[in-house]
A and B are shown apart, each in its own frame.
Chain A
């Protein structure tokens, strides 16, 4: 029997958009030395999604809006702590500790209070193969918002990480760009959580940028490489997972890790 690979357009759209969004955000995360914060983002995204499920079931608040609002509040709190002088690793450690505890409580509550209404597995392990057209439209909207907030201002976002004082002397309101970056990360991580999953979000928000930075000799090339590596990793991972029957987000994570290991062999 000949080998046949069946791909649903919804899978390609969702994985492609998630890869594009993380491919744009990841180099900026590296340039702005937000690796600690970015590592904590999936935790805030998962907690936000769980709190949104509870709010939706108890108050009827739309899940999509609630989850983004919760995510914005949580990520803004951490970035506020860091901007007020708390060491990024300390702020992140405190944040992860608190969010993991609250996530466990929320998860337990959801599984006992409304076990039939919701499936939290997709938020934890991510499954682009289960997305509905409604999920696709939501992913398109989230991606559009994040890309509009970041792509035209990539130069500002990156140079703030290199020399913040000079950027301010050039008339750029760095604090406004900080807020835009925090909002983009908060919206992306929670908005793409269902497609990518909590576990692999760690990989997708960090590895494309780290890999691209190790290979490139200029910011422009690093941004382009980060984008291409993320997109290639996402689509390759999807194809391999469909062909092998393995969990898509897990395979995407492994492919991204493979790119990183290759970059280590090549060196800068």
Chain B
């Protein structure tokens, strides 16, 4: 068995009477970059939450052979998670350092008056790696979209997990910030299994090992050259898909 596997068997996810995923099966092996694409409301975040054990599902989710179905405390030890930022104002000041420290602090019992040296080094290393060590004292509310995403990636990297799930990490990030983030994500995928959701996969295509198209179920999963096809994407996105010099773009994130 590979040291980096994420396997889903007979996954079913429902919200009330509505079934979002029904009997899904797939197996991902790392390292490598898996780009998850699909319109808004397609179920990308739901899929990630199912993989992380954050929602109740039927079926099984196995990470490196370990059953983590519905068990976030187990999944969280094996997967680093970068949540989607929905533009919310927290209304409460939390600093960059506090966010990154939380990866360690929450796993320790009170009182946590100080961190041992090795844990302090983990925190500093994650801050430096994502280039946010110089803004560690700033509150999240004062950061740009790109800086904020790098903070949450730093938090996910504290325990150096072998699998990373990133939900729309390019949301609210300016063009230059996107280039930086995409480069970092690609670098990480050389040693980790990285699942990243994005409306437009074009920035990741040169490095993507697999593309997963989600639209109330997994519509396609395969190498980019087999999945990124106008005919397939048009079924998911409708007229939002167009071809410019043999390059596929999605200009609207809404389902047809």
Contacts and interface: CB of A to CB of B under 8 A. Distances in A.
Interface string A192-225: 0000000000000000000001001111111000
A165 B92 contact: no
Given A165-B52, A169-B54, A219 B93 contact: yes
Interface in A10-61: 27, 30-31, 33
A81 B243 CA distance: 49
A171 B83 contact: no
Nearest to B52: A169
Contacts of B98: 218-220
A163 B148 CA distance: 13
Interface in B196-241: none
Nearest to B167: A165
Interface stretch (A107-115, A124-132, A150-158, A258-266): A150-158
B72 A168 contact: yes
A162 B99 contact: yes
A159 B111 contact: no
B95 to A, nearest CB: 4
B207 to A, nearest CB: 26
Contact of A27 (B90, B92, B155): B92
B92 A30 contact: yes
A227 B87 CA distance: 29
Contact of B76 (A30, A159, A161, A170): A170
Nearest to B73: A171
B93 A166 contact: no
A145 interface: no
Interface string A137-180: 00000000000000011011011011101111111100000000
A222 B54 contact: no
B63 to A, nearest CB: 13
Contact of A165 (B73, B83, B155): B83
B91 interface: yes
A168 B73 contact: yes
Contacts of B54: 165, 168-169
Contacts of A170: 73, 76, 102-103, 106-107
A225 to B, nearest CB: 10
Interface in B60-113: 72-73, 75-77, 79, 81, 83, 90-95, 97-99, 102-103, 105-107, 110-112
24 contacts: A27-B92, A31-B90, A152-B110, A152-B111, A155-B105, A158-B92, A159-B94, A161-B92, A162-B90, A162-B92, A165-B52, A165-B72, A165-B83, A166-B76, A166-B102, A167-B106, A169-B75, A171-B76, A171-B107, A218-B93, A219-B92, A219-B98, A220-B95, A222-B93
